[in-house]
């Protein structure tokens, strides 16, 4: 099966970003099961990183456009490469192949592994939106807490050890103070630094890397022949009735 990881920002614009894209692509290949071809692609326009709802929304138009193309190119599932799942519902309106939100998928898998999970993410600015996201996924009553390491996305790479230490510290507090029994890394950059894998060994509870889990969830859906319901995610009416010919026209219709 062919699964594409879609980065909702122009990561490849710089050479460092291009290298990071390739590094992530290589990790995804490691995570993939036998028989899975996994690609990675970014979009030409969007915010450098996503740390606010405004940046989430800025990322959606170009990403949705790219998702439509990926379906036309024959990919069988798309992983929306941001933990906040920005525009997940819109992408599902526009394509018929499964679109996996790493935030949604990791929350659902976490719900099967314990009774209460906590999310360790980047900055205080995303706590409230993450809580709302999990409630909307439908497993809000299993959310123990959202805790932050207090390191901006673009600085996470500079000192991986510091990020791991801060994650272990917050994970420990989530377990002891918030009674979490499962943890999730709430940021794809932290995911691809394999912070969950490193911190999980020290904490003794399942610690989910959303990149890895999203890929497994995508494989599961494609393998089961399942995709989202069209009664839940309607084709936009102007498209459904032929008033416009493509999603792209909706912006100017």
Considering only residues 119 through 178, tell me which ones interact with a copy of itself, judged by CB under 8 A. Answer: 123-125, 128-129, 131-132, 135-139, 141-142, 152, 175
When asked if residue 108 is in the footprint of a copy of itself (CB under 8 A), the reply is yes
> Of these, 34, 158, 161, 242, which contacts a copy of itself (CB under 8 A)?
34
Nearer to a copy of itself, 64 or 120 (CB): 64
Spatial separation of the C-alpha atoms in residues 206 and 182, rounded to whole Å: 5
Look up residue 229 and give its two tokens: 């319901």
Q: Which DSSP letter does residue 14 get?
A: S
Minimal distance in Å, beta carbon 160 to a copy of itself? 20
- The three-state secondary structure class of 143 is strand
Neighbouring C-alpha atoms within 13 Å toward the C-beta of 81: 27
Nearer to a copy of itself, 18 or 33 (CB): 33
Per-residue contact string for residues 68-107; x = within reach of a copy of itself by CB under 8 A? -------------------x-xx--xx-----x---xx--
To the nearest 10 degrees (0 to 180), the angle between helices 210-224 and 102-113 is 90
| Separation of CA 205 from chain center | 21
When asked if residue 26 is in the footprint of a copy of itself (CB under 8 A), the reply is no
Span near a copy of itself by CB under 8 A; candidates 15-23, 58-66, 71-79, 165-173: 58-66
- Residue 141 makes CB contacts below 8 A (sequence gap 6+) with none
Span near a copy of itself by CB under 8 A; candidates 20-28, 73-81, 109-117, 165-173: 109-117
> Of these, 74, 112, 161, 242, which contacts a copy of itself (CB under 8 A)?
112
Minimal distance in Å, beta carbon 156 to a copy of itself? 13
The DSSP-derived string for 30-72 is HHPPTT-EEEEE--SSS-SS--SHHHHHHHHHHHHHHHHHHHH
């Amino acid at each position: 099966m062919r699964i594409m990881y879609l980065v909702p920002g122009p990561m490849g614009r710089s050479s460092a970003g291009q290298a990071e894209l390739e590094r992530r692509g290589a990790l995804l290949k490691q995570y993939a099961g036998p028989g899975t071809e996994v690609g990675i692609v970014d979009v030409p326009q969007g915010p450098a990183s996503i740390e606010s709802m405004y940046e989430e929304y800025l990322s959606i138009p170009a990403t949705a456009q790219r998702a439509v193309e990926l379906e036309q190119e024959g990919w069988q599932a798309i992983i929306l490469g941001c933990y906040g799942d920005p525009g997940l519902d819109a992408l599902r309106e526009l394509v018929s192949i499964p679109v996996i939100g790493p935030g949604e998928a990791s929350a659902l898998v976490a719900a099967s592994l314990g009774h209460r999970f906590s999310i360790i993410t980047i900055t205080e600015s995303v706590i409230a939106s993450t809580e709302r996201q999990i409630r909307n996924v439908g497993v809000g009553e299993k959310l123990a807490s959202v805790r932050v390491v207090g390191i901006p996305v673009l600085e996470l790479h500079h000192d991986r050890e510091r990020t791991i230490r801060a994650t272990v510290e917050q994970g420990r507090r989530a377990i002891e103070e918030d009674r979490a029994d499962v943890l999730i890394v709430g940021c794809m950059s932290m995911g691809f630094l394999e912070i969950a894998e490193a911190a999980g060994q020290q904490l003794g509870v399942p610690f989910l890397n959303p990149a890895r889990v999203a890929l497994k969830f995508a494989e599961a859906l494609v393998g089961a022949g399942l995709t989202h319901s069209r009664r839940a995610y309607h084709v936009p009416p102007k498209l459904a009735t032929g008033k416009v010919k493509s999603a792209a026209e909706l912006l100017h219709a």
